[in-house]
Structure formats: structure tokens, C-alpha cells
Amino acid sequence: MNIAKPFLTRALSHPQLQALSSAQGSMSFGDMAQRVYGLAGGLKNTLGLQPGTRVMLWMENRNEFLELLFATWTAGLCAVPVNAKLHAREVAPIVLDSGASIIFTSASLHPGLVEALSTTPGSRPIVVVDDDSYQALTRSAPIGCAQVEPTDLAWLFYTSGTTGVPKGAMLSHRNLMTMCLQYYADIDHVSPGQTMFHAAALSHGSGLYALPHLFSGGHQVIEKGFETDAVFEALQRYPEVAMFAAPTMLSRLVRSGQGITNPAGNLLTAYYGGGPMYVNDLLKTLDMFGPRLFQVYGQGESPMTITGLSKFDHQGNRDAAHLARLASCGIARTGTEVKVVDADGRDLPADELGEIVTRGDTRMLGYWNNEKATASTIKEGWLWTGDIGSLDEKGYLTLRDRSKDMIIRGGSNIYPREIEEVLLKHPDIIEVSVIGRAHEDLGEEPVAFVVVKPGAMVSDEDMDNMCLENMARFKRPRSYFRADNLPKNNYGKILKTELRKELVKGSK
């Protein structure tokens, strides 16, 4: 079944229900469906896009993102949502890799995108959703919902390896449909009129979970970004609110909510993931919001669907067993298998560390145009996550470490090598190594250790400017430490463990 069909069915049966609300205005299910059908007609007939064509969405949170997502599927095309926080120069390689035939963006992002693509091969139209040309597309002659196969590509989800090279996880209509059914089985039954509040990026977890809500008549309230005051206002204003949040977002809410009467308001469920949630922070969150939390462990390769720690499992008397459960990321989601294995793929005993592997109908088809990466990640049907963890005797999975050096800042992934390669472009920088430093609000932040040529002067401002010219602002290092040399092993590899020790010493 086409993943757009359940929404269109709901719009037909209950057109009066509120579908979207944002700074761009409000829209009923009936009105949204009319625009989706028109946009789908515009994509297929006006623009001449063929089945399976990739359509890139690069814009801030707004109504147009969701209506374009469903129009893309209705027309039998594949959506390529991209994080609006990325620098335009980081988006350009994704445009080329995906082979996107058209890009939809916002007026604020458009100039940078045009400049970033000016030196790339090929051309493709860019439609600004704030312009009249976009509105004209919504008024195109409508078409019916395209027939697709369950394994047809629906969402090309761009993730990255430790090198920062973008990889497109191919998610099918079946993958997304199973994800939605797992939402109903494991998290909540959605009733018409319930609220999904989007303060996190629609291009990632928040947008993925908009699907089960729209299928069941849920109202999507869309904020451009995360602001604690807006969240607390929404919790008081709207009924039965669900929202996706990175752990650092929850921690900020806890600090900002002190002194507020009934800060939880009408919160039904806050599902969190995308980074480590430390037990002490989780206890504070439970004190403020009660057992309305659901932890999600997943990856773009198996979106939101590997394990989950239920609202029920968040409850307890805070004894040792309860605290150990809170330190886990729950049990395998409905219809998903999870194992911990050694390097040869052999199952490991309970509580023994190994790589986490998973399989089920939410596992991606593979990486777009990357057979080598696919072969190293999917083995005999199992997705090898690259994460290290252990399963206890009751089936609870605990993440012990990341096998990559990835830094998670406020739920966003930062890859050290990407920053290192930018800084090494400076003629006076000899060596650089980037690691993560603990941050109270954001979980982690990047810092850089730099070796410069003898007698040379490279200011923090110089390095900041290099980073800001080549990547998203949130990725730049927050501190630069000069060193005469960097610690290395016998093979010449920089020892980031030693650098982390230096950070700890420096903080005392």
C-alpha cells in the first residue's frame, strides 16, 4: 500500500478535522488533501516527474513540508528530506548523491543553496515554497494516489558514517507502514483530535512520527524550532499532546519548568531518543512530567524501531532494579528482532558486550548507490548497527558505548573527521583532532586540539570562520586547544582517549 493512502482515507472520511497548524496558518484534513492531490498532479504532469524520481525537501519546520511529503508519495515519487540546520555546502553532496530531480526549499535557505550548487554538475529546478510558483503547483489538476509495490522507495534518509560522507538509507513504503503499526502497538493509540507537537526537525524523528498521527486524525502543531516557552504553552493549550524530543531538550524543559504550576499540562507522551539519556536527568524529567515518557532507540537504517522503553517501564520505586531498567533503552519493538553478537555474528550470553544487530520489516532496503556499505551493514538479513551494547536476561538492551567517534550535540550528530578536514585546509595547521566534551544542556559539544607550524599564529576566530564557511554552525568546535604534538600509538594513530583525559584534567 502507498504510505500516503491512510492519510487520504482519513481526509475523505473526516475532512473537517484539524490537520496542520503553524506560523503559515491552519488547515483541515480536507483542505490538506486537496492541496496534496493538486501538488501530486503538478509534480507528475506539470513538472513531468517519473515514478521513483527523488524529490528533495530542505526547509525549516512548516506546513509545506508535510503536504509536500504526502504529495510526493501520492505521485509515486521518493522523498529526500534534509535537515534544515545543515550548511548549503553540506546539502550539495546529498543533492548529487540522491540524483534529486527537483528541490523544494524556503526563501531563507534558497540563496545559499543556489550558491552551493553553482559549481556542481547538472541542473535541477529549485522551487521556493514561499513563492507564487509553489502555490500555482498546488492548484494543478489533481491526480489519484499512485499504485506502488511495498518494496518501492518512499523516503531516502541521509545519515553519515564516521567520515561524514553522506549515505542514503533506502526506506520503503513497507518500512514506513510497519513503523506506524509499531507506534500503535507499542506507544499510543491515536484518536482524532489528539495533538502532535513538532519542535524537533520534521526531516527526522518528529516527521516520521507525524505519519501515525495523521493516519488516525491527529492534529499536527508545527513550531519552527525548539523554545521551552512554546512547549509549555502548547502543553497547556492543546489536548492530549505527544512530542518527540532529544534528551537534551527534555533537560532544558526541566530546568526551565521549575516554578511552573502543572508543567506537564496536557502531555500524553514524550518520546525521546537520538542521544544518551542519563539516569539522573531521566529521574528529574519523571519528577516534572510523570511516567509519560517513551524512549526510542533506532537509526535512520531502522527508523525509530529497534527497541523501546515503555511508559509502564518508566514507573517504579527507584530501587536498583528500576534504576537499571531506566539505564536501558528497553526491549525489542513489536515485530522486530534484536541480538548482541560478536565479530563473527555469534550470539553472546546475557550481559556480555557486543555489536547490536536487528532485523524486521522496518530494516532499510540498503544504502542508495552504495553496495559496499550495504554489504558491510546488512549481513544475512540482519542490520549491524555499529553500536555496542548488552542484553540482560529479561531482554532489556543497554547501550554501553558507540563504536564510532560520533559526537551527539542536542540530538544532532557531529562527525569529528568532517571538522578536522576543514581545519586542516588552513596552511598553518599541521594536525587536528576533534573530540566531544560534556555539556550540561546539549549533552556534548565538539572541541578541537590543534598543532600549528612553529612560529605561526592561528586565532580561534580564524578557525571559527573556516568552519562557519563550510558547515552548519552547530558543528563548529566550542574551544580550541593548542598543543606541540598530539598523542599517538605505535601506528601513528591519534589517541583520542588521551585527549579526553587531558580535558578531564583541565576541568579540575
Q: What is the pLDDT of residue 401?
A: 56
Residue 286, amino acid: L
| Sequence-ordered alpha helix ranges (H) in 163-217 | 173-186, 205-208, 210-215
Contact between 372 and 384 under an 8 Å Cβ cutoff? The reply is no
User: In this structure, how many other beta carbons lie within 10 angstroms of the beta carbon of residue 169?
Assistant: 26
Residue extent(s) of CATH 3.40.50.980 domains in the chain: 29-148
497 pLDDT higher than 90? no
Mean of pLDDT values over 374-399: 95
* Domain limits, CATH 3.30.300.30, in the chain: 414-507
Binning pLDDT at 50, 70 and 90, where does residue 508 land?
very low
Task: pLDDT band for 238, please (50, 70, 90 cuts).
Answer: very high
Give me the DSSP letters along 293-317: EEEEEEETTEEEEEEEE-HHHH-S-
pLDDT band, very low/low/confident/very high, at 162 (cuts 50, 70, 90): very low
The CA distance from 207 to 199, in Å, is 10
End-to-end alpha-carbon separation of the chain, Å?
58
Phi-psi region of 142 (alpha: psi -120 to 50; beta: other; left: phi over 0): beta
Euclidean distance between CA atoms 267 and 253, whole angstroms: 13
Q: What DSSP designation does 106 have?
A: -
Position 206 scores a pLDDT of 95
pLDDT tens digits for range 436-491: 998 988 899 999 999 999 999 999 999 999 999 989 999 999 999 999 988 976 44
d(CA 440, CA 447): 15
Fold entry, domain 414-507? GMP Synthetase; Chain A, domain 3 (3.30.300)
Write down the pLDDT at residue 416. 82
pTM summary value: 0.85
H or E element: which one contains 18?
Answer: strand 18-22
Give the confidence band of 255 by pLDDT, cuts at 50, 70, 90.
confident
Q: Note the CATH number of domain 29-148.
A: 3.40.50.980
pLDDT at 491: 43
Block residue for cell numbers 526551565? 256
Mean pLDDT for 297-312 is 96
pLDDT value for 372: 95
Using 50, 70 and 90 to split pLDDT, how confident is the model at 278?
Answer: confident
